Chains A and B, each alone.
Chain A
Amino acid sequence: MAVFVYQFILSFFASMGFGILFNAPRRALISCGLTGAAGWLVYFTFMDMGVTQIVSSFAGGIVLTAVSIYNARYLKMPLVIFITCGIIPLVPGGIAYQAMRNVVLENYQLAISYGIEAALIASAIALGIITSEMFHSLVNTILSKLKTGE
């Protein structure tokens, strides 16, 4: 449990920090941190259970977008604010760095495998975000159809 609290605090402040770097509105900063922490905790839990990094990133993407959608509705702000700050902990920066570093050190085989891994993880996050967005709009459409009684 302590591990989760620790990870929560780290990812919360990392995401909130990016909110400041990206000049997010002041009253959105806490929610930005919470969004990032939610995505990271899901990712961390999945990784802890031994799921692959790509699937974990996908799950993280889904959850962080769900939290973003809630925040966007609650604060009446555009969704992009929360998604941009929220994906920060999940982004494969370390792997992209390893890819670049190995290019420099002329380990091209290793560089390509790191590069592909980074691209796949980024795709998984993006796919998670879009899945969540689509699900949200689908539910909204069905709900509004039910309300008008079709």
Chain B
Amino acid sequence: MLNDMEIIDEPNDDLKESYVRDVFFVALNCGKLLLESGAETYRIEDTMMRISNSYGISNPQVFVTPTVIIFSMNEHALTQTVRIDERANDLGMVDVINNLSRDISAGMPLKSAIRKIERIHESLVFPLWLMVLTGGMVGFMFLLLFDGALIDLPAAAFGGALGVFIMEGILRFTKVKFFTEFFASLFIALTALLYVTYGPGANMDTIIIASVMPLVPGVLITNAIREMIRGHLLAGIMKGAEATLTAFAIGAGVALVFMII
């Protein structure tokens, strides 16, 4: 990895402008990829600062909220704002960037860091069929964790798989998360309703809760509170709003089915 060694400049006031711009590029893109993959904002700020510092840039300033990154290198009169529209949970990408930042701290030359960033497009993504199967498994497990009736197991597993399939399926056509969550929970609730009304189903609520679990914004709520306690009030409030909106979408989907009854 370190075959083409490059001497990292000592921190001083007359760094070459192209060098500073390259460091800026690396740090900003790492932050952007992290934010799009659902990392915590304080962790992103920390990573960007650390990358800048290890390439000898003094006094970088970074401000991250869930929708925007503002990054400045004050000594070099460089500032950029990046808007983030899509956020998802991609823990694989978080790991990739974390390794890159670790390498940089250990003295990776700037050129190879840039090459590595340019080559990162997608981390390894699990295939759709595996995710759908996993959704089914999660529904199955949660029905048992919530002490549901054994007779409801097939419906919970099917509902969980269906929810994940609709989420992932519709997300490829529209980027509005509200609708994907709405339709997913609508069809989950319909499944539960049909299974209880025309099938052997025992308890509609448990089926819906178990199979809606992959959609529920539980992680988002918890992270929102963690951000707030850490002092990132804006990020916490925004994540809280996002979680409320998700909960509302799920509730609306289920509500539509309850109105049918």
Contacts and interface: CB of A to CB of B under 8 A. Distances in A.
Contacts of B9: none
> Size class of A's contact patch?
35 or more
16 contacts: A10-B145, A20-B134, A21-B164, A23-B90, A23-B92, A25-B91, A25-B95, A76-B102, A77-B98, A91-B216, A94-B146, A96-B221, A101-B254, A126-B223, A129-B226, A130-B226
Main secondary structure of the interface of A (DSSP, over half): helix
Nearest to A78: B98
Given A23-B92, A127-B229, A17 B141 contact: yes
> Size class of B's contact patch?
35 or more
Interface of B: 38-40, 43, 89-95, 98, 102, 123-126, 130-131, 134-135, 137-138, 141-142, 144-146, 164, 205, 208-209, 212-214, 216, 218-219, 221-223, 225-226, 229-230, 247-248, 250-251, 254-255, 258-259
Nearest to A95: B209
A11 B145 CA distance: 7
A83 B169 CA distance: 27
B175 to A, nearest CB: 18
Given A80-B43, A126-B222, A94 B209 contact: yes
Contacts of B38: 22, 84
A24 to B, nearest CB: 4
A58 interface: no
A101 B258 contact: yes
A20 B94 contact: no
A101 to B, nearest CB: 6
Interface string A55-96: 000000000000000000000111011001101110111101
Nearest to A115: B247
B222 A21 contact: no
Interface of A: 7, 10-11, 13-14, 17-26, 28, 40, 76-78, 80-81, 84-85, 87-89, 91-94, 96-98, 100-101, 103-105, 118-119, 122-123, 125-127, 129-130
Contact of B131 (A20, A101, A129, A130): A20
Given A23-B90, A94-B209, A103 B251 contact: yes
A22 to B, nearest CB: 4
A81 B144 CA distance: 25
A89 B92 contact: no
Contacts of B126: 20, 23
A108 to B, nearest CB: 13
Contacts of A125: 222
Contact of B222 (A17, A91, A97): A91
B91 A14 contact: no
A17 B138 CA distance: 6
B254 A84 contact: no
A97 B208 contact: yes
Q: In this complex, which of B91, B93, B214 has the most chain A Cβ atoms within 10 angstroms of its Cβ?
A: B91
Contact of A100 (B93, B223, B254): B254
A24 B144 CA distance: 24
